[in-house]
Structure 1
């Protein structure tokens, strides 16, 4: 799983699309954070702080890629059974962190810009190291979430390096979108963006949770490996276009165990319900205006 695996082109593309969508969502979220910090520093006449902001961003991105590579590719040195345990635990941790961040962003999106500006004002008064730390923590939080989410996703689709490539391409798209937003070329309705992508992440996380449950069943930590909830493999073609998409992005199996189905449905209902309820308490916001006066 840690090398380029010979796969059909549709399977590779689907795996890259799934991770690419994650990269766009998480990358754009981080990009908004960077955009607010940079714009505020420029408008405050503190361009000397920009180098510390970019150093913090670079350190956070390095941490994200390093975390993914160490966990994902480090498993090649252990037995297949131990790899199942590592994959299962990593998937559960990823789901827990992604759940927290999705629900937190749902509530915090309305005031995150003000919080960042306030934090940067205090950091600039302290010095460059404080600005570096603020940027690293602000972006690193997104990066660590993305790394763990991608570990679970890459494990579930068994796509070698393809999910990582898709993630990086998605982040490139996110950088372009952030730059266009920064220059005022586009306007984004952040409320709708985080709502739709949040729902997407919840479904993806549910699939990763189901994968983690099965991995722990294989290892023996959870019961019910042979208790199949349903089996549609007689007519469901997992190699067809719909099977590739459902498996590559949402980790759907034609013969899931009962415990997998319970975990998937329970997660979508509970977390999806909380996501909707938290959104109702936040007043809708119009599209974000261009950042005028920022060079």
Structure 2
């Protein structure tokens, strides 16, 4: 992943396609070009050596998506003026970080990286699907409260259902899922690098990566707090919905790699790994459902806003 993001994404996709082609007698002839493509992409990286900067890129790349989720939740809590909500988000994030660190020690001391890699696919798959469903609601909430008057009414209600204890637990759970999903992949990648660099270089890279993430988190929270409510909430809604769409595709793809779901391939479906679009109905169909839900929510919001403007003022 540190050497080539493109090769990493293509390899993940090709492994599922290869499994799908080999398990279907009518498609086995299509497996040979996939194998050739895998060899062509991976062969130049077989003897790759790593530096501290490569180690830094892993937490930065893996952490940015989790940071966007946690940053949006923290800004939402800050806008709502709820200190308890911020503590729940921070607590969920800290729990996710501790779980990832604990998993790293477990792999080093107790397990093999290959055995953990398979379990990591299962964890990434289920957390990705769960986080995606929860993010769909967060995206809807942000879009719904992008109207300044509506949000001001929300702030005026000190004990609203949106900031109830149950909802704050949901915030903690979502931040936990976001951190664990990316944190476990970071563990796998860093363990794979550990034998190809000194301990000091590895530690320096990890520290640099987390420093960059911390700086980015500070910028996101500070900048978001100064933006007007409507563009802030609309922008956050789009980012969160994109992550919802992406987490669902990559989560189901991970379950296919783990063998939980069949690795079927449909050549007519789009294949864009950047957006977690894979040529399988198992991942594409839920994404289409989410996309339809998002379009319906936008249309209903515009329709209600238009009706509100058409109501005569007494």
Pick the TM interval, shorter chain. 0.5 to 0.7
2:189 is matched with 158
Decide whether aligned partners of structure 1 residues 269 and 283 sit closer, same or farther in structure 2, where only a CA change above 3 A counts: same
Q: Distance in 1 between matches of 2:224 and 2:217?
A: 10
Decide whether aligned partners of structure 1 residues 178 and 153 sit closer, same or farther in structure 2, where only a CA change above 3 A counts: same
Q: Distance in 1 between matches of 2:302 and 2:210?
A: 32
Preserved contact between residue 69 and residue 178 of structure 2 (Cα < 8 Å): yes
Q: Deviations over 1:82-112 (max 9, x none)?
A: 4244223212221222221221022222249
Structure 1: stretches of 5+ with no match in the other structure: 42-49, 124-129, 231-245, 285-295
Q: Distance in 1 between matches of 2:170 and 2:214?
A: 17
1:275 is matched with 294
Matched, 1:32 2:75: yes
Number of equivalenced pairs? 236
Decide whether aligned partners of structure 1 residues 273 and 8 sit closer, same or farther in structure 2, where only a CA change above 3 A counts: farther
2:245 is matched with 202
User: Pairwise mapping of residues 216-295 of structure 1 onto structure 2 (< 5 A)?
Assistant: 216-217=258-259, 261-283=280-302
Q: Distance in 2 between matches of 1:164 and 1:113?
A: 39
Preserved contact between residue 56 and residue 207 of structure 2 (Cα < 8 Å): no
Decide whether aligned partners of structure 1 residues 212 and 191 sit closer, same or farther in structure 2, where only a CA change above 3 A counts: same
2:5 is matched with none
Q: Which moved more, 1:161-170 or 1:77-86?
A: 161-170
Decide whether aligned partners of structure 1 residues 166 and 176 sit closer, same or farther in structure 2, where only a CA change above 3 A counts: same
Bigger radius of gyration, 1 or 2? 2
DSSP-derived class of the 2:280 partner: helix
Structure 2: stretches of 5+ with no match in the other structure: 2-47, 192-201, 304-314
- Which of 67, 77, 89 lines up with 2:99 in the alignment? 67
Preserved contact between residue 124 and residue 254 of structure 2 (Cα < 8 Å): yes
Q: Distance in 1 between matches of 2:170 and 2:218?
A: 16
DSSP-derived class of the 1:78 partner: coil
1:191 is matched with 234
2:220 is matched with 177
DSSP-derived class of the 1:282 partner: helix
Preserved contact between residue 16 and residue 163 of structure 1 (Cα < 8 Å): yes
Q: Distance in 1 between matches of 2:79 and 2:123?
A: 32
Superposed CA RMSD in Å reads 4.9
2:134 is matched with 101
Q: Distance in 2 between matches of 1:25 and 1:136?
A: 18
Q: Deviations over 1:213-269 (max 9, x none)?
A: 11x23xxx5565xx8878xxxxxxxxxxxxxxx87x6679xxx9xxx7343333433
